[in-house]
Amino acid sequence: MKRGVVSFALVLLLCALNLHGQSLTSVSGTVTDPSGALVAGATITLTNMATGSQRQDKSDSSGRYSFAQIQPGKYKISATATGFAGVDLSNVELLVNTPATVNIAFEKLGAISEVISVTAEAVQVNTTDASLGNAVSGNVITQLPFEARNVVGLLSLQPGVVFLGEPNPGTLNDYRSGAVNGGKSDQANVTLDGVDVNDQQDRSAFSSVLRVTLDSVQEFRTITTNAGADLGRTSGAQVTLVTKSGTNTVHGSAYEYLRNTKTSANSFFNNASGVPKERLNRNVFGASAGGPIKANRLFYFFNFEGRRDRSDAGGLRTVPTDDFRHGLFKYIRKDGSIGTLTPDQIKDIDPAHIGPDLDAQKYYQQYPEPNDTTVGDGLNTAGFRFNASTPLRFNTYIAKFDYALDRESKHQIFWRGNLQNDNYQNGIPQFPGQPASSVFLQNSKGYAIGYTGVILPTLVNTFRYGYTRQGTQTTGVQTVPVSYFRAMDSLYSQSRGLVRIIPVHSLSDDVSWTKGAHTISFGGVVRLIANHRATNQNSFSRAYGNAFWLAGTGGQFLVPDAKNSNAYKLQFSNILGLLPLLNRQVNYDLQGGTLDEGALVKRNFAAQEYEMYGQDSWKVTRSLTITAGLRYSLNPPVYESNGFQISPNVPLGDWFNQRGGLAQQGKPQSLAPKISFDLASKASGRDLYPYHKKDLAPRLAIAYSPQGSSGLSRFLFGGAGQTSIRAGWGMFYDLFGQGLIRQYDSTALGFSTSINNPANANAATVPRFTDFFHVPLDRLPAAPPGGFPQTYPDVQAITNGIDDTLKAPYTMNMNFSIGREFRGGFFVQGSYVGRQSRRSLISDDIAMPTNLKDPKSGMTYFEAARILSTNVFANTPVEDIKPIPFWENLWPDAAGDGLSASQGVYSQYLDTGGDFTTALYNLDVDPCSPCSILGPFAMFNSQYSSLYSLRSRGHGNYHAMQWTVRKRFSQGYQFDFNYTWSKSTDLASTREADGVFAGPIINAWFPGQNKAVSDYDTTHIFSALALLELPVGRGKKFLTNANGFVDAFLGGWQISGVFRNTSGFPAGVNDGAGWATNWEFESYATQTGIVPHPQTTKNAPSAEPGTPGGANIFANPAAAFNAYTFTAAGETGQRNGIRGDGYFGIDLGIGKRFHLYTVKDQPHTLQFRAECFNITNTVRFDVNSASLDAADQAKFGQYSETLTRPRVFQFSLRYEF
């Protein structure tokens, strides 16, 4: 660690620093006399009603008082002053991360000993800052129906949050799910008792590394936008969890929840395929207890929870049809009819005249027969759905101790510990009868230590130390290299093992100082993160049946009457058993020695994070508060601590710019420098990305609360503290780094070297399939020697790297809101929420062919190729092509046989049928025929055909109107209802953890072509939660004096529910004709006609007559298909131009509470609950599973997966005291 970093860490630890909102709260207000005048010198006592701890303050000369850094909970606020009767405000509920304003009014003159008691109501109006969000107490949490029993999932019930269901344990959630106010889903920050509990590598939304049970949570709070300078780390939602503490009274619970197959529904696609419903047997059980060890001083809380599943999960595989596995090949003719090729006919088409590969046929015949039509081409491949067992065993242990060091509770400490042991068969077998493809094991653990000290009534210090250790292992079954085919699932699983141990140490020390009208806080945090990783995911070589790796990309297999489609090319190559793509994977040690095939590769990544801030909340008047702050982040680049890290000789961002400069000057790419790699630890080496030392993030918030003392103002604003008008602006930096280095390391030349044979392989000579477990590596060069420096050979590789010139991504958030509380506890708030994302990480191909400019004419390649593309789509005769200056000047040797140069080039483009980068490859890559006047590699790079890197070139915008209607709990019910109307746009929407091959920029030279609505954009989002205690029974409105027998049947009933609904999510149509612009990724198709309005139809006809239909985005798929065409060279096409289904779910719970007996004024109760998830059994389909390919008419628009899960009932018993 560098000296400057050490010094900075020491400064943070020695200064009394503040993290105001991590797991604490605050309350402030003014004190007035009966006439409304401010009262100075009043004694204010704050008493925790559960533990008896107290704090005292005196109102200043302006009548102000303030308590900072206090534990959430219910409090009594007492006020005394000479000449006035005392005031007691009881049941003041202070919520975590929610600054409360409680004004105290002495109601009459009198002796101090005379006390007027008032029962307070929950504070709903934020009159302090501009943050948006909500807090939920533990009592409500245990009564709501949660399908996954995941407390962090409460974030999904906030405005502006996208929710698509909970992921299975050990898997990443849908990358769209968890997007908050237009931000990516990996930017939420989760803390437990003020300590970091995020997954440092994947940062999956709605998750905590340490499992937080419903019965262990005292309070949940989220801020969705514009948190103060005291919060940050990420640019997304800030989620705060607080573990329960013991109180002066013993409280506890014991519970069991049950789900079973008989009360669950089958899935839509299982029903359609005749597959029985998945088995579901789940038991969740546990107990909790908390109480005093020493009254008012020392408290304990314990919670154990177990979960046991004996359940199934559904699987879907693409398998060969019966005809295909016996050597018959089906295709769609140009007239729409179905044609069949016999083995002899296939032999005639085969360049080697061998015909269907016999070993491949034997392999195909081992597959089960298809029973599903949602996947595959419907001719040679189809789907196979099945259920498989996924047993699960979870154990969770949670403990917490709180201790007041002195009787005045000025000094308090706590310790909280979490431990879990998990075993989950998360990978179903590849096919029935095979072993599980993977098992997920976890033993994550962590603890937190906290200290809060009241140095002065106006000066409070809080310290936190946390240790969170994420420990997971996923087993795999692959042990040798394998051969398999594209567009068909392999017969056996290729899963591989992964072990991750990620310990995180976090330290913070906090101070809040109240000085007159100012509450000044300043603070920081230090996080020390290690990521110990061992895996064999990149340790096996392979052979891959992929027609697109052949010269002509499989077009040579088309018979004259066949309709051109990718499915035809791929499956014809597969029936021949061709293995054109061979990959040798070699791993090395630090000394350059090669590791054995399949060996575990061990890495130890490390990172440090240092953050500090200062903030002043200035109460300018009783109505106006201005909060201004500045947060500073200093995050050194992530690194590999044992030296397994390389850096290129040229910064890759600079290299990309050099390539672009050469193209603009009309110069060839052969002049671009060769990329070589050396150890990053050497003097010439560089960090993974630059050390950003200027990440300053200012924040500003204005909150105005009209007093509304009388007349019209009181009618409009409801009196003091009933209305708040707030505006905020803040800059927030994205958290990144762990995903970057993991991806970079997976293909680090010299440590993990991947070698492919060049593309454009000859179909007559490529190896053919012999066995799944045999790879013809003898056709590949031997492993290159280890050691550094290393230069990638000229093989036009497809791989990934890191742009080591990237800058820290950031967002600018803004909001304006008006909130008003009405009589009866109703609260209404309307908000504008905006977000501007800048320098977002996007996946960019920095080695894609350039947009070469002809110096003579000024015409660029994209302009010239677009002319050719248009003519290809129109099937223009070669002789009708007019001279195009670009080709005439740069490819004069293409002329001949009576054709101009432009016509000669056009003939090659015409032959590829839309795969224009292959045509360019033939014209530009050695041995090109003909080459340009610049020689080979005028536009392609000789080393890489594609080099994808995450780069900070993205940007996006989000604008929303958000409404919240809330009713605090009173009179036996409460609810929250939220509505969001929004639009989010960006260039790419995937997360850092999704890798460089997810959601890429198609044209790196013109990234703006990718601009569209975000993948997670949904115009309308509705969410709600509700809790209703029926007003019947003893002490209720009806039958209030009922006897015990009547009350046992009619009293104690409760209804609760959760509701979510969104409008549709977008998707784009794949070009399908080939690779028009980028060598590795196809463009999107181009819309040329009117696309019918999406109308999900559960049994729509196929867009191709004679082929199976099914669930579809469109009622008329053929009309939708005909609205799209292939995309011209240099273009990206239309991204996200189609809308599919949105999410819908209603979860409902009904409970009956029986009062058993009372011990020492503490009731003991038994509650029976029945809960139903997706009570309407509504089916909503996932647009990302739809087949959207402009070259695949038969399947166009057809769905294969759902967003929603089938209806499930859950029954439970809870004993509480």
3-state secondary structure 152-170: HHHHHHCCCECCCCCCCCC
- Cα atoms found within 13 Å of the Cα of residue 263, Cβ hemisphere only: 15
Only one residue has tokens 């979510």, namely 1060
**1183 φ, ψ (degrees, to nearest 5):** -65, -25
Whole-prediction pTM value?
0.91
Q: Name residues whose C-beta falls within 8 Å of residue 255's C-beta, 6 or more positions apart in sequence.
A: 215, 284, 285, 286, 287, 1212, 1213, 1214, 1215
- Cα atoms found within 13 Å of the Cα of residue 714, Cβ hemisphere only: 4
Q: Name residues whose C-beta falls within 8 Å of residue 791's C-beta, 6 or more positions apart in sequence.
A: 674, 675, 676, 677, 943
**229 φ, ψ (degrees, to nearest 5):** -65, -15
- Cα atoms found within 13 Å of the Cα of residue 272, Cβ hemisphere only: 22
Tell me, what amino acid is at 138?
Answer: G
Distance, in Å, from the CA atom of 234 to the CA atom of 178, rounded to the nearest integer, reads 14
- In the predicted model, residues of the chain with pLDDT beneath 70 are 1-22, 110-122
H helices, E strands: number in the chain: 16, 57
Structure tokens at 451: 């200290």
Tell me, what amino acid is at 860?
Answer: T
Residue-level pLDDT at 9: 41
Tell me, what amino acid is at 1180?
Answer: R
**DSSP class per residue in 413-481:** EEEEEEEEEEEEEEE--SSTTSPPSEEEEE--EEEEEEEEEEEETTEEEEEEEEEEEEEEEE-----S-
| Residue 256: how many other CB atoms lie within 10 Å | 15
CATH code of the domain occupying 14-119: 2.60.40.10
User: Which of 162, 430, 368, 270 is CA-nearest to residue 1200?
Assistant: 270
Residue-level pLDDT at 650: 93
Residue-level pLDDT at 1205: 95
**DSSP class per residue in 983-1034:** EEEES----GGG-TTSS--S-TT-GGGG-EE-TT--SEEEEEEEEEE-SBST
| Residue 697: how many other CB atoms lie within 10 Å | 21
Residue-level pLDDT at 1021: 98
Give the Å distances, CA to CA, from 824 to 131, 243, 330, 715, 966. 24, 30, 70, 15, 11
| Residue 75: how many other CB atoms lie within 10 Å | 28
Q: Is 781 exposed, middle or buried (CB count within 10 Å of its CB: 0-12, 13-18, 19+)?
A: exposed
Helix, strand, coil percent content, the chain, rounded in steps of 5: 15, 40, 45
Question: What is the DSSP-derived secondary structure letter of residue 109?
Answer: B
Pairing mode of beta strands 646-648, 624-634: unpaired
Task: Tell me if 13 sits within 8 A of 616, measured CB to CB.
Answer: no
Structure tokens at 1033: 């029974």
Distance, in Å, from the CA atom of 802 to the CA atom of 636, rounded to the nearest integer, reads 16
Three-state DSSP state, 139: helix
Task: Tell me if 242 sits within 8 A of 23, measured CB to CB.
Answer: yes
Give the Å distances, CA to CA, from 333 to 71, 558, 915, 1105, 1124. 73, 10, 21, 11, 20
Task: Tell me if 1145 sits within 8 A of 1073, measured CB to CB.
Answer: no
Distance, in Å, from the CA atom of 777 to the CA atom of 658, rounded to the nearest integer, reads 36
Q: Name residues whose C-beta falls within 8 Å of residue 37's C-beta, 6 or more positions apart in sequence.
A: none
Residue-level pLDDT at 13: 40
Chain-centre distance of CA 234, in angstroms?
Answer: 13
| Residue 7: how many other CB atoms lie within 10 Å | 10
Tell me, what amino acid is at 110?
Answer: G
**DSSP class per residue in 799-816:** EEEE-TT----EEEEEEE
Distance, in Å, from the CA atom of 413 to the CA atom of 231, rounded to the nearest integer, reads 22
| Residue 1003: how many other CB atoms lie within 10 Å | 24
Residue-level pLDDT at 5: 42
Residue-level pLDDT at 116: 63
**992 φ, ψ (degrees, to nearest 5):** -60, -40
Distance, in Å, from the CA atom of 1134 to the CA atom of 1126, rounded to the nearest integer, reads 11
Q: Where are the beta strands (DSSP E) in 1070-1186?
A: 1086-1087, 1097-1100, 1110-1112, 1124-1125, 1138-1139, 1144-1159, 1162-1173
Task: Please provide the size of the chain in residues.
Answer: 1217
List where CATH 2.60.40.10 sits in the chain: 14-119
Q: Name residues whose C-beta falls within 8 Å of residue 1151's C-beta, 6 or more positions apart in sequence.
A: 143, 1053, 1054, 1055, 1056, 1167, 1168, 1169, 1170
Structure tokens at 1021: 């989002």
Structure tokens at 933: 């006047």
User: Which of 384, 379, 383 is CA-nearest to residue 565?
Assistant: 379
| Residue 303: how many other CB atoms lie within 10 Å | 25
Tell me, what amino acid is at 318?
Answer: T
Give the Å distances, CA to CA, from 499 to 601, 603, 1108. 10, 10, 43
